[in-house]
Amino acid sequence: MTTKTSPEGSAIKSRGRFLAVSVLALSLGLGAVPALLSAQVATQTQDGQTAIVPPPGQPVQAAPSQEAPPSFADLVERVSPAVVNITTTSTVAAPTNPMFPDGSPFGDLFRDFRGPGGPDDGPGDGMPNGPFGRGGPQRSNALGSGFVVSADGYIVTNNHVIDGADEIEIEFYSGKKLPAKVVGTDKQTDIALLKVDTGSDQLPFVKFGDSDVARVGDWVLALGNPLGQGFSASTGIVSARNRELSGTYDDYLQTDAAINRGNSGGPLFNMNGDVVGVNTAILSPNGGSIGIGFSMASNVVNKVVQQLRDYGETRRGWLGVKIQDVTPDMADALGLPKPEGAMVTDVPQGPAADAGMRSGDVITKFAGGDITSSRDLVRRVADAPVGEAVDVVVMRNGKPEDLKVTLGRRELAEGTSQPGSSVDTTGGSEEDLLGMKVEPMTPEIAAELGVGRDSKGLVVKSVDPEGVAADKGLNAGDIIIEAGQSPVNSVTELHDQITQAKEAGRKSVLLLLRRAGEPRFVALPIE
């Protein structure tokens, strides 16, 4: 079995699998497959040439030429003056000895391993700091890469390259070194913008390209400072697009160009010499390149850099809703033609609530563009201007509704959302239904579950492990707030919604649950 590691020791979920992703910063003091392109089949013709034979009923198409360029030397020579090495210095607290507490009789024994001298010795005794050395602060160095994006000295890199640094030094391709200051950072996309004082000099710089037109199979060139070895070039292709790692705004190009620790923050160029990605992470069992690298797409980075340059911070739009993807079961339960859009699970106080948006609405259009998924909506909202009204179309009770929402600013709103209000109750009795046992919420049950005494809905008391509720992930303690997009506070009301769904010819009933305070829709089969 291959073990995948990361410096931070974090597991990252990517398309339903947990992958450990190695972040590409070299610290000197610290230790899903894309779809098939077509069903065409390659065969040998009588003259020995390769022909592309399509399935029956489709015309034969000539294969476009995808020959590798004879050399990347001209491209490397043209763009390399804008690529830089970055060295950071930071002060870190010395590690303490975790093995024995202060006053332990074994403390004297381990002090002996430090050799002559001790905590009061001067700095020239040659003993290292650390568990068996002196306990003072240490100076730590780290290396990374970056690239110049303006003649007056703005430089782009990864946030993790310069995070916590006391001093930042930029080494240019010519060998010249200059100190840099941080203009702004964005941890969401792991991007940082630096600035050097160039005086009257004009620096060579590179431009951002359009990452949306990058295709799987396109040639790319990666430049940077791998493993602290200095300027280095590697080539490969775009292996996949729209990869997600762990961030809300992730949009990575995957490449097989060799990138390693120290390449962090370096550019990924297309064949025109435009930056289409910022090298950020690799998937690796040993910390070295195995041909699976990730570069944050330039169309994401360019917008972040512009905001950091203008404001010193990011300013993203905020809609004020909690959302999830629409599954095929949900689409059937809602009567939607296909499982697209973003399902609204909760509408706390904010722009969407002010515009009349409701829990259970499915957002299908935002600012004139179709919404295919919740991820799509998050990106579009983030890119929308703060304080301006945008047109939003939602599907509600099977009909489109036009709303106009004036967006807030996400950075100011994070952490301020309040839970939605409770619905009215009518009472009822405990009953087994759809593979679960439910009963109306009471103040006593609310106290037992640790929720507000005025909470309403139906409480799932137990779940049949062989039933449909268990298959859909329902657990004891879940609170059913709605069924069929109507409040349910009694078993009778839940029965009624199931009956209505069956009469409408639907195979599922849509439930709105609240688990640990978080809302979520589940389409529960009723056949």
Strands 436-440 and 458-463 come out as: antiparallel
**How many Cβ atoms sit within 10 Å of the Cβ of residue 57?**
5
CA distance 395 to 401: 6
CA distance 195 to 150: 10
Q: Quick one: which of 360, 359, 350 has its CA closest to 381?
A: 350
Indicate the helix (H) or strand (E) that contains 299: helix 298-311
User: Nearest-5° angle of CA 514, CA 342, CA 501?
Assistant: 65
243, 252 in Cβ contact below 8 A?
Answer: yes
Q: What distances in angstroms separate CA 376 from CA 246, 350, 452, 501, one per listed residue?
A: 16, 20, 34, 30
Q: Which residues of 2-14 are buried (b: 16+ CB within 10 A; e: fewer)?
A: eebebbeeeebeb
N- to C-terminal Cα separation, the chain: 42
Q: Quick one: which of 324, 368, 383, 352 has its CA closest to 523?
A: 324
**Side-chain half-sphere exposure of 522, counting CA atoms within 13 A:** 22
Catalytic residues: 160, 190, 264
